[in-house]
Every structure is written in structure tokens, then in C-alpha cells.
Chains A and B, each alone.
Chain A
Amino acid sequence: MPTLTIDEREVSVPAGASVLEAAEALGITVPHFCYHKALGAVGACRLCAVEIQAGPQHGLRMACLVEARDGMVVSTTAPAATGMRRAVIEYLMLNHPHDCPVCDEGGECQLQDMTVAGGHGVRRYRGKKRTFPNQELGPFVEQEMNRCIQCYRCVRTYRDYAGGHDFGVLGVRQRVAYGRFRPGRLESPYSGNLVDVCPTGVFTDKTVRFRARVWDMQCAPSVCPHCSLGCATWPWARYRELLRVSGREGPRTNGFFLCDRGRFGSGHANHPDRPRTPRLDGRELGWPEALEALRERLTKLTWAHGPGAVGLLTSGRASLESARALGLLGQALGGAPVVCEPHPRRDRAVRALVAELGQLGRDQEDVRQSDCLLLAGLDPEGEAPMLALAARQAVRRGARAAVWDPRPDRLPFPARRIARLPEALLEALARPDGRAPDGLEAAERESYAETRAALQAAERPVLLGGADLLGPRGVRLLLAAARALSRPGRACGLSLALPGPDSFGGALLCPDGPDADELLAGIEAGRVRALVCLEADPLSEHPDPARVAAALGRLELLVVLDHLPTASAARAHAVLPTTAAAEMDGAFVNHAGRLQGFARVYSAGLPIRVTGQGAHPPREFRPDTPGELPQPGWAVLAALAGEPVELGELRAELARSEPRLAGLAGLVAGGPGVQLALEPSARERPDTPAEPGVAEGELALLSVEALFGSEPLSARAAPVAGVASEDALALCPADAARLGLGEGEPARLRSALGEAVLPVRLAPGLAPGFALVQRRFGGPLEGFAPGGGPIACRIEKGGAR
């Protein structure tokens, strides 16, 4: 721990820290451009000059490059240092355009700040400015190369941190430019981070080009609702419209960065067809009348047919408090049980995890620090995009990685791959002797043995998995493998991607209720006569949409609480509009069991862009806000139960009734959150039966999530809807040849999930015997709910599309 003196104050920092970081520890910000906590220092910008007055070095030095040493005396304010910084700013401005007024970075521009802070107000150089051609980089990122100051942050983020290949630095001398070799859409799923890291306006968010200045926007610390990782975000809203999302520092979760789904998927809150008024039997009503009428009908049904007459269904999208309020409504209705996920297999997988996880849960930071990773049945790009980046950081530090998955490998790091379903391999791994399963090829057996040995030898091994492919049995096997690989004093952790941002919390609240299939059976048998869906869309999330449609048709009353225009909401007798995450306070429990709060960014309402129809806001005085009726799900449900509560009361009640959620009482949005104290449940673990699987010689269909278009929230965001990949049926070339299908030819796909005619895409990385589709809302694959694992399917040369 070297101790040094900076600006006449002493500070001790960990060995290896730079002078810049030591100053930061004292609260002194040394101006800088190229240094970034996550990217480190490269000494490109020369702005962080300080004077070292005593110690192992002397004179003007770059604070980000000099390691803090014992006895150093550093001045950040010495005339030599400030003079150098002023000169550097003036040099950087030589070529900088004169365009802050039309630059979207203005107001949050580090270069602007430094120029003003450095006192450089008048241009002395009279020569001409260098210019660059710009590139078209796709729908998300706008480039204005003339504004660049050559700090290299963009390349270091895109290539080094995120593993992208299609972006780099070109040119020599003062013609150094950053972009793609040819114009085109940035391929990395993490391209949006360019917007955050570029300290100038070279890369700005194209989806909100010219829409707002940073000082006019509302923002509050939030948690990304687009997958189960719970990355830390800042959503930004203006004029009742959720405009953009930027990365917030989440030391245990995302670090600094976000995936493009989380960053550009927020437009669902502005969806034009989003429910905004309570609706009952086709009539729009005010809240009091709607709630009164529904309460009466639900109570009557309960009286007439017993508490089981009302079914309650939620999903991983709902906040923890809303899920709890649904439970309270169940209690008010005499004990109606809550089903916590519309997809029964997903439901059981999540509950298996929550019941047995104990202290084995690992978050993104644990993954980044791990030294050996196994990805079993996980395709991070679709299910938990930032998990791939976390794993990449571990691999960059020397961790070994292996992947057991039949899907094509899209990981941004090298990994030893066994292209098979992971179940048998995990079963072997969980056995004490760990003998490789039968039926592996020699190379696979060797790879398996090597991975097992590496996991056993590692200090901080983590098993990563995806609940969708693994299913309840796979999750149990993964847990068993983690336990088998743990030794006293050194646990093997586990990180499982779940279906929704609060899947974990929802399962925590209803550990052993019925699942969606039991609910459907109840409806079909006529026992369940009414269904309340809280931010759940059984029609698109259940693996048997036809059965759901028939069951919903039998209901006397279908109540849907949602902020999305879902298929189920379109069929409901009553729709109660709820708020999106950015419009409410609440909490999610992420995939690793971390409870995180989010704060209301703005109040729900019709955007001025809508009320003004693109022109100025309407010239009228009115006391209310148009479209202000959506309420948080928990508030609607509590009112429906006849017991309106405050969020604080609800949280206090939840903390009392569920000791594992005790942290909820003191939870603050924007804080690090609370890791839940989980104990593996002592209950007997029933042996999960093997799934029916797929007969020999038949193709196994995997319906999975894609980065864009599969997740219900972001799929309805305008910027993302335009980039979702084309619907296609992926086959490995050998299977396609056997079926007589070539690239792009139409094929008819028949499965329990439904039928579709799709163009064939040859995927050499896909294991033989598998067919792969990515669910996409708004297309023929909308009903192909992910989460069902491999199912039987028939593929033939297809008719008309």
C-alpha cells in the first residue's frame, strides 16, 4: 500500500494504482480523456499532466501512466501542470469543428467541459481545420468524425472490452479515424457503448438524434428490465417520452456498459397502442368505476364458486412489489394461488434454481473475476447479453472457458466447445467420479475431461447456464454439478440466465404454487372462471398458444394489467393500464439473487409529440395530464383488493413476511442493492423426470431468444423493431442437404409450438440434428415461445410463404 502526497494531502492506495486513481481516492479529479476505469490508461490524450515534485520520478508526468509509489509528492495545480493541460486543450481544439450548437453531445461533453475549465475561449490558430468523411453505421450510432480527439476509448471499448471485430482505427499522422472498414451497421451487440465512452460527440445516439439536451431531461437511477441480469441504467425522459438509456456504474452488475437491447429497447414505454385508460367490456372508464365493477365481479365469482374460481398469473416482467400485491389480492379473494410464469417449464426451472441456489449465486462481477467458466446451455447474446461481456473479461485475464451447447457459437471469446445438449454432460459432471457420458466422440471426451479438471483446479470457477434450454432438470443438474465441484472453503458458483428481470423475485414469493398448465387445466375443467394477468401474456409466452386461446375463450372474466399492447390484452374483458419500470418506483431481484431498487424517472402520460401531433403542444389550459392514468401494478392490485397501500407499507409488509427480503425496507434506488441471504431449501428434492425429448432420427427444434425482437419489452420499441433479424429456420448444412433444402429456400416447419413457412438459413455452427428458430414478435414466429427446450418437429420443402 504505497502512501503518497497529492496536493498536500496524504493518501494510501492499493499497489499498482496510478497517480490519477490515487487522486480520485482523495476526491481530486485530474482532467482526463483517454483514461477510463474499465478500460485503463493508454496515455493517448496527454491531458492528465501533473507535476511530481519528490519521489522516484520528477517533473511533468501523465498521472494515468505513473504508478503511485511511496513517498511521492504530487501537485495537480503546479503552474507547469495547468499550463500543459491548457496547451493540450488548445491543440485538441485546433481541428475541432465550431458546432456545439448542433452537436448532441453538447451539455454532457467532456471536451466542452475541459475547454471551458481550461479557459480556452479564443482561437489563436488561423490555419484550416482537418476534416474527415463520415460513415453510416446503422440505426443506433451516429458518427461525426470531425469531432474526434483521438483518445482511442472507442476502439478499446468495441474491440478490447467487447470483442467486436468490425470497428477499428484507420490512417496515419493527423488523419487517424475510427470506424468500420466499409460503412454498414455495427455488428457488435454492444455497439451502443460507443455513445457512452466517447468523450466527444463523434458517436451519439442516433435513435434520439436532435431530440433533447441533457439538461432538459428527467432521469433517475434505474435497473434494466430487458433481461434477468439487472444492469444499472439511467433512463432519460422528456415531455413524457422515454427517450434513451445510458449506462450507470454498477460495480456488481454491468460495470459501466450495457448491451444494445438494454440501451435501445426502452421505446416500449412510448408505444402508440399501449393501454392508457382502464377498459371494461369495451368501454373506457375512470379508475374508481373500473375497480369497483371488477372487485364486485371477482368477489361474486369467489362467493359463487369458491376461492379457486379466480386464477392469478404474473410473469418475470412484473416488479417484486407488484407480484406481492397480486398475492395480497389472492388472499383477499379467499386464497387464490398465484402462478408466477406463463411458461410452465420456465416456471419450474426458475423455482428449482431459487429453491436450491443458496450461496452459490454469482453475479456479473463474480464472472468477471472468475478463472474458469463453463457455459452450459447458454446463448448469452439472446438471453443475457452482458453475461458474455463479463465472461470475456475473465477470459482476457486468463480464465479458461468451455461451452456445451448445440447452438452456433457467437461468444466474444474463445472457448472449448462440445456441440451437444448439456444435460448428459452435466449429469456426468455431477457424479462423484465424473466419468464422461457414453456416446461422446474421442475429441469430445478429451474436451470434457479437460474442462472438468480445469473446473476442479480453478480458484473461482463459475458455471453459467440458461434456464430456457436447461429446463428444471438441467438446472438441477447444473446445481448438482456446482455442488460436486465445490470443496470446503472454495465453492463453485453458478450464474443462470432467467426469463425476466424479476423471475427470481416472483419465484421467491410463490415457491410452490401451481404452474400455468395446472391453471389451464382448471379453466378447461370449469373450476377457474376468471383470470387476472399481471404483466403476463400467456398467449405469446405459453408453449401451446392454441390451448391458451381456447382456455381464455372459456373464461367469464379475463383481466389484464399491462403497459404493453399484448395479444392477451387484446382479448381481455378488462384492461387495467400499468406503468413501465421507468414510470414507477420498484424493485427487481436479479438472476444472482441481488435485490435492486429503481426509481421513477417521469410520470406516465401521452408524450407531447403525440398530443401536439409533431407540432407545438396544444394551445389549451387543462388541469390534468393527457394519458396520465396508468398506475403501478401494485397500486392497482391493492386497490382491487380493497386495501390501497403506499409503496413503503407494502415493502415493509413484504420484508416482515418474507425474511429473505428483509433488505427491502432500507432499499435505495441507485445503491448497490442487497444480496439476498438464501438458504438452500431443506425440502426433499424430487427427482425431476427426464423430458420426453426427441426420437432418434428426428430433428429437435430449439426456439430461442434473439438479441432483438424476442424479449417482449424491447420487441415493441421502435428503434429495435427495425433491426430484428429476418425470421429464418437455421439448419446445419448436412441436415439441410438431407432434406433437400438450400440457403434461402422456403421450408415448412411443423411442431407443437405451431406451423410456419420460413426461409432456410445454413448454420455451419449448429449441431446436426437440430433446427433453430428465434422467436420474433410481430411475425410468424410470435407464438414460438422460447423456454421449451428441444422439441420434436417436422420439416419439409415448403409451400408458399
Chain B
Amino acid sequence: MTLWRSIRGTLAALGVTLKAIFRRPATIPYPEVKRVPAPRYRARIVLTRDPRGGERCVACHLCSAACPVNCISMQAAEGPDGRRYAAWFRINFSRCIFCGLCAEACPTLAIQMTPDYELCRRDPLELVFEKEDLLVEDGGKDRDYDFYRHAGIGVAQARGEGSEEEPPADVRSLLP
């Protein structure tokens, strides 16, 4: 009895294997084949651009404040047009936990998570991404948003010319 049961068990297992040979495999032969995750997947972080192609990031420090592992650092500076921008911007991906809190905090939609998960390096210093490594030539998600158009302090357009603004008040007029 025992012998028969052993033979049956072996054949059944072989059958399973034989059947699987003709089915599509569940694994993929990475790295020859790469999987594309959903757009909302949280992996490599990028800095995006506004619809006019300018850098979106205004170096407000909200992402670095939100980051629970303190892996974002930057220095804000003033451009010739009065625009606030990041003179340098650094994310240390060897520390990043891809929680997405920075992207959630960003008021300008500059910092965004992408599905690019290929972030292994042999040297930890190579995981320290500078601004030039982070900037992409694209608006990413919400391509149409342009913070300075709505800021209301006259950087992207003259003061008072925004769609939500009155023209500048004449403070010397005493008319009602």
C-alpha cells in the first residue's frame, strides 16, 4: 500500500510540473525583461518642471521638513527675476524610505514619486542625488499647474495681473 501511494504521489507531482511547462510563467527574467508598475508607485523621486519649462521647486523646505528620515537638504536662493529657487537640492537615497511624504507636502507639485525602482548602487555616495540628477524635463503628474501664476506676489506675471488679482491699489488716492 505504502509503495503504491509513493508512486502515485511522485507521478502527480510530475504531472503538475508537466502542466506548468505549458503555462505562461509568473516570474519575469529580470533584468532582460522589466515590469512597469502603476503610475502611483513610489520609487525614485524627481523634480519636475512647470508648463513653461521652468523649475517648479521654490526651495520652500516643506519636503525636507516633512521627510521623516531627513534625507532632503537644499539651499534656497533668489533668481534675478525675484524667483525663489533651489541653488542646490540633494536627496540621499541611501536613507530615503520612499514614504512619499515629501511629494504630499510639496505645494508646487515639484517633487514627485516615479515608478523607477532601479536604485541600487555599489557606492553609497552614488545614491546621493544632486539637483541635476533629480530634475526631469517634464511636468510629471498635474502637468498644467504653475505655482507662481497663482502666488499673487508678481513673479511670473506683473503684480496684480494674475487671474485672481485686482490691479495694484493706488495708496495715494483718497477717493472712496
Contact = CB atoms under 8 A, between A and B. Distances in A.
A100 B61 CA distance: 11
A616 B107 contact: no
A289 to B, nearest CB: 33
Contacts of B172: 170-171
A133 interface: yes
Contacts of B78: 209-210
Contacts of A239: 75
A98 B173 CA distance: 26
Interface residues of A, number: 42
B118 interface: no
Contacts of B168: 131-133
Interface in A136-179: 144, 146, 170-177
A93 to B, nearest CB: 12
Nearest to B61: A213
A311 to B, nearest CB: 45
Given A130-B169, A215-B65, A106 B60 contact: yes
B120 interface: no
B87 interface: yes
Contacts of A177: 169, 171
Contact of B169 (A132, A614, A616, A621): A132
A173 B176 contact: yes
Contacts of B152: 97-99, 129, 131, 146
A612 interface: yes
Interface string A196-213: 000000000000011111
A129 B167 CA distance: 9
Interface string A402-428: 000000000000000000000000000
Contacts of A215: 61, 65
B108 to A, nearest CB: 6
Interface string B140-176: 0000000100111111000110001111111111111
Contacts of B90: 616-617
Residue from A176, A210, A239, A615 having most chain B Cβ neighbours under 10 A: A210
Contacts of B151: 97-99, 101-102
B58 A101 contact: yes
Interface in A565-610: 608-609
Interface string A354-385: 00000000000000000000000000000000
A171 B153 contact: no
Given A128-B164, A129-B152, A134-B159, A101 B60 contact: yes
Nearest to B160: A131
B61 A216 contact: yes
Contact of B164 (A129, A132, A175): A129
Contacts of B155: 102
A430 B170 CA distance: 59
A172 B58 contact: no
B153 A101 contact: no
Contacts of A283: none
A133 B159 contact: yes
A325 to B, nearest CB: 37
A210 B108 contact: no
B166 A131 contact: yes
B40 to A, nearest CB: 24
B87 A144 contact: no
B159 A131 contact: yes
A801 interface: no
B42 interface: no
Contacts of A173: 176
Residue from A98, A173, A212 having most chain B Cβ neighbours under 10 A: A98
B59 interface: yes
Interface string A202-245: 00000001111101100000000000000000000001000000
Nearest to A147: B153
Nearest to B76: A210
Nearest to A106: B60
Contacts of A211: 75-76
A738 interface: no
Nearest to A101: B60
A210 B84 contact: yes
The size bracket of the interface on B is: 35 or more
B62 to A, nearest CB: 7
A279 B154 CA distance: 51
Nearest to A209: B78
Contact of A129 (B125, B165, B173, B176): B165
Contact of A131 (B107, B108, B131, B165): B165
B2 to A, nearest CB: 65
A113 to B, nearest CB: 15
A612 B77 CA distance: 14
Nearest to B110: A101
A237 to B, nearest CB: 14
A215 B165 CA distance: 31
B60 to A, nearest CB: 4
Interface in B56-97: 58-62, 64-65, 75-78, 84, 87-90
B55 interface: no
A619 interface: yes
Contacts of B62: 101
B152 to A, nearest CB: 3
Nearest to B150: A98
Contacts of B101: none
Nearest to A172: B174
Nearest to A131: B160
A172 B65 CA distance: 40
A106 B62 CA distance: 10
Nearest to B174: A172
Nearest to B124: A621
Interface string A95-135: 00111111000110000000000000000000011111110
A210 B175 CA distance: 37
A749 B88 CA distance: 51
A57 B64 CA distance: 49
Contacts of A130: 166, 169
Contacts of B170: 175
Contacts of A133: 159, 168, 171
B176 A101 contact: no
A97 B169 contact: no
Contact of B171 (A97, A171, A216): A171
B173 A102 contact: no
B138 interface: no
A144 B147 CA distance: 17
Residue from A101, A106, A107, A212 having most chain B Cβ neighbours under 10 A: A101
B166 A128 contact: yes
B24 to A, nearest CB: 45
B131 to A, nearest CB: 7
B176 A172 contact: yes
Contact of A619 (B128, B165, B173, B175): B128
Nearest to B60: A101
A170 B171 contact: yes
Contacts of B87: 614-615
A100 B107 contact: yes
Residue from B84, B152, B174 having most chain A Cβ neighbours under 10 A: B152
Contacts of A212: 76
Contacts of B160: 131
A102 B165 contact: no
Interface of B: 58-62, 64-65, 75-78, 84, 87-90, 107-108, 125, 128, 130-131, 147, 150-155, 159-160, 164-176
Given A101-B151, A616-B90, 15 more contacts: A100-B107, A102-B151, A106-B60, A129-B164, A129-B165, A129-B166, A131-B152, A131-B159, A132-B159, A132-B171, A171-B169, A175-B169, A177-B171, A612-B88, A616-B130
List 4 A-B pairs, minimum CB-CB distance, nearest first: A97-B152, A101-B60, A616-B88, A171-B171
10 contacts: A101-B84, A101-B107, A101-B147, A102-B84, A130-B166, A130-B169, A131-B154, A210-B76, A619-B125, A619-B128
Interface of A: 97-102, 106-107, 128-134, 144, 146, 170-177, 209-213, 215-216, 239, 608-609, 612, 614-617, 619, 621
